[in-house]
Amino acid sequence: MFELAPEFIRDSVLVTKLKLCQVRLQNDQRFPWLVLIPEVNEVTEVHQLSQQQQNQLIQESCLVSSTLKALTQSTKINVANLGNVVAQLHWHVVARFEDDEAWPGPIWGVGSAVPYPDQKRAEFIDSFVKALNSAQ
């Protein structure tokens, strides 16, 4: 059974599941920020995935990125794989805007998270899932 790192349980909410990955919304309304987490235990690096899983991760990353871009009309989509704080393999997919508080730098370490109000979070998730389903 897949085990999700406790930091993801604490800081994000499940949006949907794809063939390989959970798609989660980071609870910080300053940035439309999704996290793709392959449901493979004890994997911390992309090269630890099988070739098929690596290909699937790329496909899912492209699908989530293009859907987020279309939904938010962002200036740029940032995709990052760090893993220094939470080792479990995950990819950040973040919609960026020229007027966001971290632009043009990275979002990490800038200000404090601003949690989504419940209704705004639910509306974002609903809109994203509808757009994702239309894109598939």
Chain segment 67-126, per-residue pLDDT in tens: 999 999 999 999 999 999 999 999 999 999 999 999 999 999 999 999 999 999 999 999
- Domain of residue 81, CATH code: 3.30.428.10
Residue 1 is assigned to a structural domain of this protein: no
Residue 37 is assigned to a structural domain of this protein: yes
Tell whether pTM > 0.75. Answer: yes
Residue 130 is assigned to a structural domain of this protein: yes
Q: What is the mean pLDDT of residues 38-58?
A: 98
First-to-last C-alpha distance (Å) of the chain: 27
pLDDT for the residue numbered 136: 85
Q: What is the mean pLDDT of residues 43-67?
A: 99
How does pLDDT run across 8-27, given as a tens digit for each residue? 999 999 999 999 999 999 99
Q: How many domains does the chain have?
A: 1
Distance of CA 17 to the CA centre of its chain: 12
Which tokens belong to 57? 């991760």
